[in-house]
Structure 1
Amino acid sequence: MPDFILLMHNDTAREPSAGMWDSYFTSLRQRGGFSGGSSIGSGETVRKDGPAGTVADHLVGYIRIEANDLADAKSRVAGNPVYECGGTVEVRSLPPGED
């Protein structure tokens, strides 16, 4: 089954509650294909030569899932606290063999 990553942006209209996250993770686990995730803290960019680009401040977390296809992965956004609170969730495919 293909792998996808859900990237949460920090553009919610209201702050998601801890209970919302608990419910969402329970739902993902029950549906199958949940492979983990985390909030994303501050950091820096690095580059061997030349100036590095800026840190993507709008990304605040990720969730990795397995889904049948992009449509199935997008359906798993329902209930995501960022999404439900008016924020943006990017759904991106992870190419095979790039674990």
Structure 2
Amino acid sequence: MADFIFLMHDTPHQTSDKTAGWPAYLDGLARGGHLRGGSAIGSGAAFRKDGAASSITAHLTGFIRVEAESLVTAQTLLAGNPVYEAGGTVEIRELPETD
């Protein structure tokens, strides 16, 4: 099994309420043994030790960490995701194991 992170994008053309459906969706991921955590992402800032940092990635609004067999399996877990179902973008990235 591998860990993946779903990054929810704030997509202007989403067709419905972005907040509806989260409890049922997250409960389904938990019941299926896939949910490993997540949160909304609020405002913040970017920092560098030397020099000016670029601005934060403002279109990211939240993340969910899941466990799945593969990227293809992780993609099937998008069913019911309120952002995805509203026509928004959810980016899936694998979280590689590190020593």
Q: In structure 2, how many angstroms separate the alpha carbons of the residues matched to 1:17 and 1:52?
A: 31
Q: Which residue does the alignment assign to 1:71?
A: 72
Q: Quote the offset at 1:14 in angstroms.
A: 2.5
Aligned residue type for 2:84: Y
2:16 alignment partner in structure 1: 14
1:1-99 to 2 correspondence within 5 Å? 1-11=1-11, 12-18=14-20, 20-97=21-98
Q: Identity over aligned residues, as a percent?
A: 49
Q: Where has structure 1 moved over 4 Å in runs of 4 or more?
A: none
Superposed displacement of residue 15, structure 1: 2.0
More helix by share: 1
Q: What is the root-mean-square deviation in Å for CA atoms of aligned residues?
A: 1.3
SS where residue 73 of structure 1 aligns? Answer: helix
The Cα of 1:28 is off from its aligned counterpart by 0.4
How far does residue 30 in structure 1 lie from its aligned partner after superposition?
1.5
Quote the Cα distance in structure 1 between the aligned partners of 2:27 and 2:98. 27
Per-residue displacement from partner, 1:43-85 (whole Å, max 9, x unpaired)?
0000011110111000000000000010001110111000011
Aligned length: 97
Distance 1:17 1:46, change over 3 A: closer
Gaps of 5+ in 1: none
Unaligned segments of structure 2, at least 5 residues = none
